[in-house]
C-alpha cells in the first residue's frame, strides 16, 4: 500500500488485487481519516485488444472474443454481436431461434444477477447468501453446459442461428428450474435484501440522482436504480420482446434517497423475477424449426455500417460495425455499460467512508473484462 501524506490528505491505493474491486481495478483514494475526498479509478489492467483482434479475424471468429468481455453474461454478449451482423446483412431468423435466444439471454441474466447479489452479500459481511446464490446459479450453468458444452464462455449465438438446437426435454428442465427457483428469490430477500444491517450499509450510500445517472450515460439496473424507467427490451425492442409481458423495476427509495446502493441492488433482485416470467412465456412460444435455417454459407456483409444495442444484465451493450464488403470487419466498436457506470464513480463516491467505497463498487456491478475490452 502506497501512503503519500500531502497536507491533511492521505492517498491510499485500493487494488488492483483487492477482492472487493470485483476485478483488476485500482482505486486511488484521497482520504482524510476515514472520509474519502476523492476516488479516482484507474483501469486498463485487463486490456486484451478486443477491438483490434476483431479487425483481423472473420465475422464468426469475433464471437468467441465477445464471450470474454462480460464473462459473467457471455450469452448476452454473443447475442448482441450476432444481432448486429444480422441487421447489417438483412438476415431474419425463425421463431425457434428467436425464442431459444430469449430463453438463454434471460437465464444468463438471472445467473449474472445471482453472482452480483451473492458477492455483494460477501462485500457487506454476509457469507451465507453467497452460497445460496451460487447453488442456484450452478443449476443454470448445468442447463447451458447440456446445450453447448460450456459453463462460462459459450460461443452459442451464431450469425443467422445457433450452434446447436436445445436437447430433448430441455424445456421441461427449464420449467422445473423456474418452479424451484422462484421461491428461492423470496428466501434471498428474507436472508439478505431486507436484513436490517444490510439496509443500513446500503440505503443511504452512493446516491445517484436521476439527472446524474442520465448525464453520465448510466444504463441498465444502475440507471433504473435511480428511478429512470428505461429498458431497451421495452423501449427499443428486439427479438420480439414487445410480445412478452414483463415489468421494468425501478428504484423507489423505500429505505432512503432514491438512487442508493440498495436501490441498484434491489432492482436486480426484482429483475430476476421478471426474467423468470419472460422465460416461461418463451418456452410456451417455442415452435419446431431448424436453428441452422438462416445460417449464411459465408458471412460477408455488404459495405456499410450498423449500430445495435441490447439490454444486457449490466445495461446497454452496443456494437458498432463498419464493413468494407470483405470477410473481415473493417471496424468493431463496443459501447460498454460498465465503462459508463465507472465514469460516474468519482462523482458518487465523494464524501463517502472508506468502507462505503466497497458498497458503491459492488452496487454498480462492474466486470473489468468489459470495461477494458
CA atoms of 327 and 60, how far apart (whole Å) = 9
Residues of the chain with pLDDT under 70: 1-7
Q: Of 285, 194, 284, 270, which Cα lies nearest the Cα of 231?
A: 270
> Measuring CA to CA, which residue among 275, 345, 325, 346 is closest to residue 112?
275
> What is the reported pTM?
0.95
Please say whether the beta carbons of 301 and 295 come within 8 A.
no
pLDDT at 343: 92
Cell (9 digits) for 54: 476483431
CATH number attached to the domain at 50-372: 1.10.645.10
pLDDT at position 1: 45
Give residue 7's pLDDT: 57
Q: Of 248, 236, 284, whose CA–CA distance to 103 is shortest?
A: 284
* Structural contact between residues 298 and 286, judged by C-beta atoms closer than 8 angstroms: no
Burial class (CB in 10 A: 0-12, 13-18, 19+), 303: exposed
CA nearest to 143, candidates 131, 151, 155, 135: 151
Distance CA 82, CA 79 (A): 5
Domain extent listing, the chain: 50-372
Check residue 373 and give its pLDDT. Answer: 81
Amino acid at each position: 500500500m502506497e501512503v503519500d501524506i500531502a497536507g491533511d490528505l492521505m492517498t491510499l491505493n485500493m487494488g488492483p488485487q483487492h477482492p472487493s474491486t470485483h476485478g483488476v481495478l485500482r482505486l486511488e483514494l484521497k482520504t482524510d481519516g476515514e472520509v474519502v475526498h476523492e476516488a479516482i479509478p484507474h483501469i486498463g489492467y485487463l486490456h486484451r485488444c478486443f477491438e483490434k483482434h476483431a479487425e483481423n479475424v472473420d465475422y464468426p471468429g469475433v464471437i468467441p472474443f465477445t464471450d470474454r468481455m462480460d464473462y459473467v453474461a457471455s450469452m448476452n454478449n454473443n447475442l448482441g454481436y450476432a444481432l448486429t451482423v444480422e441487421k447489417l446483412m438483412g438476415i431474419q431468423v425463425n421463431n425457434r431461434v428467436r425464442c431459444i435466444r430469449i430463453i438463454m439471454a434471460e437465464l444468463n441474466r438471472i445467473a449474472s444477477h445471482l453472482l452480483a447479489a451473492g458477492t455483494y452479500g460477501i462485500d457487506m459481511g454476509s457469507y451465507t447468501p453467497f452460497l445460496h446464490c451460487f447453488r442456484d446459479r450452478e443449476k443454470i450453468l448445468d442447463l447451458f453446459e447440456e446445450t453447448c458444452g460450456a459453463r462460462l464462455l459459450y460461443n452459442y449465438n451464431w450469425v443467422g442461428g445457433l450452434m446447436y438446437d436445445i436437447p430433448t426435454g430441455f424445456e421441461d428442465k427449464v420449467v422445473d428450474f423456474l418452479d424451484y427457483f422462484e421461491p428461492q428469490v423470496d428466501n434471498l430477500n428474507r436472508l439478505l435484501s431486507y436484513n436490517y444491517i444490510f439496509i443500513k450499509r446500503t440505503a443511504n450510500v452512493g446516491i445517484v440522482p436521476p439527472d446524474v445517472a442520465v448525464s453520465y450515460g448510466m444504463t441498465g439496473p444502475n440507471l433504473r436504480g435511480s428511478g429512470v424507467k428505461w429498458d431497451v427490451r421495452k423501449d427499443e425492442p428486439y427479438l420480439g420482446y414487445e410480445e412478452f409481458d414483463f415489468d421494468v423495476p425501478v428504484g423507489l427509495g423505500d429505505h432512503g434517497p432514491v438512487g442508493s446502493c440498495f436501490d441498484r441492488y434491489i432492482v436486480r433482485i426484482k429483475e430476476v423475477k421478471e426474467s423468470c416470467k419472460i422465460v416461461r412465456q418463451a418456452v410456451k412460444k417455442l415452435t419446431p424449426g431448424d436453428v441452422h435455417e438462416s445460417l449464411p454459407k459465408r458471412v460477408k456483409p455488404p459495405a456499410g455500417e450498423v449500430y445495435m444495442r441490447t439490454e444486457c444484465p449490466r445495461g446497454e451493450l452496443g456494437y458498432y460495425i463498419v464493413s468494407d464488403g470483405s470477410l473481415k470487419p473493417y471496424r468493431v466498436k463496443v459501447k460498454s455499460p460498465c465503462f459508463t457506470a465507472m465514469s460516474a464513480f468519482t462523482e458518487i463516491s465523494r464524501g463517502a467512508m472508506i468502507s462505503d467505497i466497497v458498497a458503491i463498487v459492488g452496487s454498480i456491478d462492474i466486470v473489468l473484462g468489459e470495461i477494458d475490452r
